[in-house]
Amino acid sequence: MPARVVDASVMAAWCFREPRAQEALRLIGDAELYAPLLLAYELASIARRKAVAYPEKLRVLGDALRTALLLPIHWMDVDHVSVLGLAMTTNLTTYDASYLYVARVLGVPLVTFDERLARAAGEAAG
C-alpha cells in the first residue's frame, strides 16, 4: 500500500462530495494516509464555511466531517520552526508548508489540488 500525505484540498473534495471527489478518491483510495494535525482543523473550518452558506446541510456536513476524521490517517505533529523556514523558502503559507514538511520528513508523495503546493512539492522532490 503506497504512503501519501494528503492535504485539505483533496480530503475536502472527497468528504464533502465536491466536483473533484472522484479524482480525490483515486488519489487516496489505496494509500496509507499521513497528514499534519492541522488537517482536522482545516476540514472543520471548511465544513463551517459550507454550513454558513447552506445551513440546511449542517447535519450532512457534520456527518461528512466525522467520516473523514475517522479514516485511518496517521496524524503527525510538525516542527513549527522548520515549517516556518520551509514556508519562507517556498513562499507558501505555514499551513501549506506543514503538509510539505510531513511529506519531506517521511519521503512520500504529497497529494493536493493546490497548484502552488504541488509545484513546491515537486521542486522539493526533485
Q: Would 124 be classed as within a structural domain?
A: no
Q: Would 125 be classed as within a structural domain?
A: no
**Cα-Cα-Cα-Cα dihedral of 42, 48, 52, 54, to 10°?**
100
Q: Would 126 be classed as within a structural domain?
A: no
Q: What angle is formed at CA 64 by the lines to CA 62 and CA 69, rounded to 5 degrees? A: 95
**For residues 114 and 7, is the Cβ–Cβ distance under 8 A?**
yes
Q: Would 122 be classed as within a structural domain?
A: no
Q: Would 121 be classed as within a structural domain?
A: no
Q: Would 123 be classed as within a structural domain?
A: no
**For residues 92 and 101, is the Cβ–Cβ distance under 8 A?**
no
Sheet holding 3-6, edge to edge: 74-76, 32-36, 3-6, 110-111
- pLDDT in the model for residue 126: 37
**Structural domain containing residue 16:** 3-116
Q: List the CATH number of the domain containing 75.
A: 3.40.50.1010
d(CA 68, CA 65): 5
- pLDDT in the model for residue 72: 96
pTM: 0.93
How buried is 75 (Cβ within 10 angstroms: 0-12 exposed, 13-18 middle, 19+ buried)? middle
Q: Would 105 be classed as within a structural domain?
A: yes
Count of domains forming the chain? 1
Q: Percent helix, strand, coil in the chain (nearest 5)? A: 65, 10, 25
Residues of the chain with pLDDT under 50: 125-126
The size of the chain, in residues, is: 126
Record the cell numbers describing residue 36, joined without a space.
499534519
Q: Would 85 be classed as within a structural domain?
A: yes
- pLDDT in the model for residue 77: 97
- pLDDT in the model for residue 1: 86
